[in-house]
Amino acid sequence: MSPEPRPAAAEPTARDAAHDPVDTRLACSWLHTARFLTTAPELRFLPTVTVPEIAFVGRSNAGKSTCINTLTQQRQLAFASKKPGRTQHINLFALGRQGGTDAVLADLPGYGYAAVPRQDKIRWQQVMAHYLISRESLTAVVLLCDPRHGLTELDEILLELIRPRVQAGLRFLVLLTKADKLNRAEQTRALSLMKLQTAGGEVRLFSATRRQGVDEVSALLWQWAHPDGAIPAGLTQAGAATATATAATTATDTATATGTATGTSTSTAAAAVPPDSASSAAPD
Ligand SMILES: Nc1nc2c(ncn2[C@@H]2O[C@H](COP(=O)(O)OP(=O)(O)OP(=O)(O)O)[C@@H](O)[C@H]2O)c(=O)[nH]1
Ligand SMILES: [Mg+2]
């Protein structure tokens, strides 16, 4: 555990975004355009992307894939499963209207699941570290953390890994997932604690089943992807106002992702992250 304060988040905040209802409608409509782009076992097989890329990272079973499905209002876009370790590749989803792409979401394999063989653990953690350090299009990271478990040692290592990039402008948000499992007092306590741990950084409560935090997070992602406020072609405010908010709650693992991994990356050697032998992510 590092005594250093965690990376603080960049402005503007989700709270600011939530003050503007147009932003929320636009954001939800935009997120609903998400479609599968590609899947790859490691960074060097990912295509080069020239638009902002937002990665969802965190412990196995934290709810990353479910969060992506909820935000995009699609039931089976990303793999989600009760069984930890379900996502084993880096999966990219393109966002944008009329065939255009103005941002990409990345669903990363989770870490910390004890039942995974040691070699697989090391490989996944290296894949993730390599991606976080070297992926040039990465402009934002959403760290999902189940507040019932708090930050794990591997979460702390991840925070240290991305600190230099956060200081250089990478956006960063901690989502306290499965907030529906906590009562109101526990939620308040968890939020305060995580804000302390992230040195006042951006932290939000999130529940896929109750859609808690969905509008705020959607608006924040929209702002991250469109920092100059420009509305992409084909996404008018009138169109956005009619966007459906079909809630994707808990998705199942029936989808198959068979995208072709193309392109190259200019990345350097992966940072060695120790396997998490102590903790185990128990399925809910
Ligand atoms: N109660 C509740 N359960 C949730 C929520 N989000 C996800 N889950 C459940 O948590 C389990 C794991 O969800 P996933 O989205 O597959 O988690 P993941 O972080 O992608 O897991 P890996 O791919 O293994 O890294 C599934 O059974 C989900 O239904 C939530 O907000 N509330
Ligand atoms: Mg997953």
Q: Which of 38-42, 114-118, 193-197 has the lowest average pLDDT?
A: 114-118
Residue 21 confidence (pLDDT):
54
Q: Which among 198, 140, 144, 143 is positioned nearest to 166, based on CA atoms?
A: 140
Tell how far the Cα of 66 is from the centroid of ligand 2, in angstroms: 7
Instruction: Tell me 27's DSSP state.
Output: H
What phi and psi, each to the nearest 5 degrees, are found at residue 13? Answer: -90, 165
- Crossing angle of the two packed helices 64-72 and 214-225, in degrees rounded to 10: 80
Distance CA 45, CA 19 (A): 40
User: What single string gives the DSSP state of each residue in 165-206?
Assistant: HHHTT-EEEEEE--GGGS-HHHHHHHHHHHHHHTTT--EEE-
Percent of the chain surpassing pLDDT 90: 55
Q: Is 284 in the pocket of ligand 1 (CB under 6 A)?
A: yes
pLDDT tens digit sequence for 49-62: 999 999 999 998 99
Residue 101 pLDDT greater than 90, yes or no = yes
For residue 148 the two structure tokens come to 């019932």
| Span 167-172, average pLDDT | 94
Instruction: Return the amino acid letter for 83.
Output: K
Residue type, 41: P
- Distance from the Cα of residue 226 to its chain's centroid: 17
Ligand 1 within 6 A of CB of 189? no
Average pLDDT (245-267) is 32
Give residue 265 CA to ligand 1 midpoint distance, Å: 30
Encoded tokens for 110: 């989770």
Domains of the chain, earliest start first = 14-227 (3.40.50.300)
In the DSSP assignment, the letter for residue 207 is B
| pLDDT value at residue 228 | 77
Partner residues linked to 53 by β-bridges? 104, 138
Q: Is the pLDDT of residue 221 over 50?
A: yes
The residue contributing the CA closest to ligand 1 atom 14 is 63
Per-residue model confidence (pLDDT) at position 94 = 97
Reported confidence tier of residue 14, pLDDT bands at 50, 70, 90: very low
Give the pLDDT band of residue 85 (cuts 50, 70, 90). Answer: confident
What confidence tier does 185 reach under pLDDT thresholds 50, 70, 90? very high
Taking residues 108-112, report their average pLDDT. Answer: 88
By mean pLDDT, which of 122-126, 164-168, 186-190, 252-256 is the weakest? 252-256
Residue 263 has pLDDT above 60, yes or no: no
pTM (predicted TM-score): 0.80
The string of pLDDT tens digits covering residues 225-248 is 998 776 655 444 433 333 333 333
123 alpha carbon to ligand 1 midpoint, in Å?
22
Degrees, nearest 5: CA angle 31-37-38:
140
* Distance of alpha carbon 44 from the chain centroid: 20
Would you say the CB of residue 66 lies under 6 angstroms from ligand 1?
Answer: yes
Whether pLDDT at 92 is above 90 = yes
- For 116, the 3-state DSSP assignment is coil
CA 85 – ligand 2 centroid, Å: 7
When the pLDDT of each residue in the chain is averaged and rounded to a whole number, the result is 78
Q: Give yes or no for residue 85 CB within 6 A of ligand 1.
A: yes
Q: Residue 20 has what pLDDT?
A: 54
186-211 average pLDDT score? 93
